[in-house]
Amino acid sequence: MSNEVFSNIPEIKFEGPDSDNSLAFRHYNPSEKVGDKTMAEHLRFSMAFWHTMNGGGSDPFGADTAQRPWDSVSDPMEQARIKMRGIFELTEKLQIPFFCFHDRDIAPEGETLAKSHKNLDEIVGLAKTLMKTSKTRLLWGTANLFVHPRYMHGGATSPDLKVYAYAAGQVRKALEVTKELGGENYVFWGGREGYETLLNTDMKKELDNLAAFMHMAVDYAKEIGFDGQFLFEPKPKEPTKHQYDTDSATVYGFLEKYDLLPHVKLNIETNHATLAGHTIQHELHFARINGILGSVDANQGDTLLGWDTDQFPTDLYVSTLMMYEILKNGGLHRGGLNFDAKVRRPSYTVQDVVEAHIIGMDSFARGLKAAHSMLTDGVLEDFNAQRYASWNSDLGKKVAQGKATLAELEKSVLNDPVHVPASGRQEYLESIVNRYI
């Protein structure tokens, strides 16, 4: 078909673990059932517009390396049209059901906010038309409040009211178009919502303003009948030295303090967990037990580098433990696994991008299967039920009900001979996890 944007990319199909074809799935078989759901229903993959359509590979030391079909097109609006057609085509060829975008990824910024809205409307109109004949859906939309120089001090935490108002206008519009495209979620990531030095920062005012901003977004969503899930994405540093949305626990505290917990869940990214000094399992687990696990930005960092490398996920140990938490959460519900990931700079072809998505999808398919078997056998559950068994005693139950006293607890052990608790058997448990992978 001459209309194709990526004419050299075929439809990617499941060929099984023995296939030598780099443009095929070895493990991701969308219709295969794992437990009571298909792989497609469990995994809800999504493609990131900013990396896959806009990322060119430039870094602080060098220019773009990527070769893309629209390279020779100079009109930014025409490029935007091709890229939008491109993401629908590529998601379909890869059997990825969703995509995600920032407002400024899909349409160029105009001279005024009003002109930017107009550009956005045109491209959103195109996306809507493409959706009529495509299976591709919108996982989430968001507003880019960090690239433009006006946001150098932040967007929703800017010390300058005019900048704050501009950010508000962008978010209002982004919510409107996310609704128009049937988006399942709306994400806040505080790109520049943080600070470099407290010498020029009123932290309390900035956090109060951020909360007011989010409440206005929640109110506007209600006003226009957008019923998507709001998500807040934690990240500890980069671009600012101190990001206000450091990690899941910090964001939970913020949401609770400002009465936003009823409206907002988390979008948790693997590489951001690493930067915060946590495992992704810790981040997902914390969110799960507090009822705020919303969606996942599936990527991975590099153990030797201290910044956000946003690589495609390949680590099966990690994908297994992630899927373990997600299954225990009863799934991702309206969320998904969004590949917030980019190929390395020397991987400059479109084929590299496709192969990167394939290994990401295969890694999660294997993680899903391993986690599902592990959970079905209940090995970790049985072990931990035993480990915490003493809490089933009457005294243990009293503590849980808040009815015990220090003196009562003391009395229960006052005349005990030396008590040695059972071994934690970490290495044994690690060997069990390895067996399932």
Residue 105 in the binding site for Mg ion (CB under 5 A)? no
Please identify the residue of the shown chain whose CB is closest to the bound Mg ion: 297
In the chain the first and final C-alpha atoms are separated, in Å, by 41
User: Alpha-carbon distance 199 to 201, whole Å?
Assistant: 6
Residue 230 in the binding site for ligand GLO (CB under 6 A)? no
Task: Give the nearer residue to Mg ion in terms of CB position, either 50 or 213.
Answer: 50
User: Among ligand GLO, Mg ion, none, what binds residue 142 when CB lies within 5 to 8 Å by partner kind?
Assistant: ligand GLO
Question: Which of the stretches 208-216, 223-231, 240-248, 261-269 binds Mg ion when contact is defined by CB under 5 A?
Answer: 261-269
**Shortest CB 271 distance to Mg ion, Å:** 5
Residue 176 in the binding site for ligand GLO (CB under 6 A)? no
Interface with ligand GLO (CB under 6 A), residue from 52, 54, 116, 142:
142
Interface with ligand GLO (CB under 6 A), residue from 53, 138, 145, 187:
187
**Strand positions, DSSP E, 107-263:** 137-142, 185-189, 194-195, 229-233, 242-243
Contact residues for 237 (Cβ-Cβ < 8 A; gap 6+): 194, 243, 275
Write each residue from 322 to 341 as x if it is in contact with Mg ion (CB under 5 A), else as -, in one continuous string: ------------------x-
* Total number of residues shown for the chain: 437
What is the CB neighbour count within 10 angstroms for residue 354?
A: 21
Total residues contacting ligand GLO (rule CB under 6 A)?
Answer: 10
Question: Which of the stretches 134-142, 290-298, 364-372, 377-385 binds Mg ion when contact is defined by CB under 5 A?
Answer: 290-298
DSSP-derived secondary structure letter, 51: I
Interface with ligand GLO (CB under 6 A), residue from 103, 245, 269, 325:
269
Provide long-range contacts, Cβ within 8 A and 24+ apart, for 104-112.
Answer: 104/143, 104/144, 104/147, 104/148, 105/49, 105/50, 105/53, 105/54, 105/144, 106/49, 106/80, 107/77, 107/80, 108/76, 108/77, 108/80, 109/148
- Residue 153 annotated among the catalytic residues of the structure: no
User: Alpha-carbon distance 409 to 382, whole Å?
Assistant: 27
Question: Which of the stretches 31-39, 84-92, 201-209, 302-310 binds Mg ion when contact is defined by CB under 5 A?
Answer: 302-310
- Which residues belong to the active site? 102, 105
Binding residues for Mg ion, rule: CB under 5 A, are 269, 297, 308, 310, 340
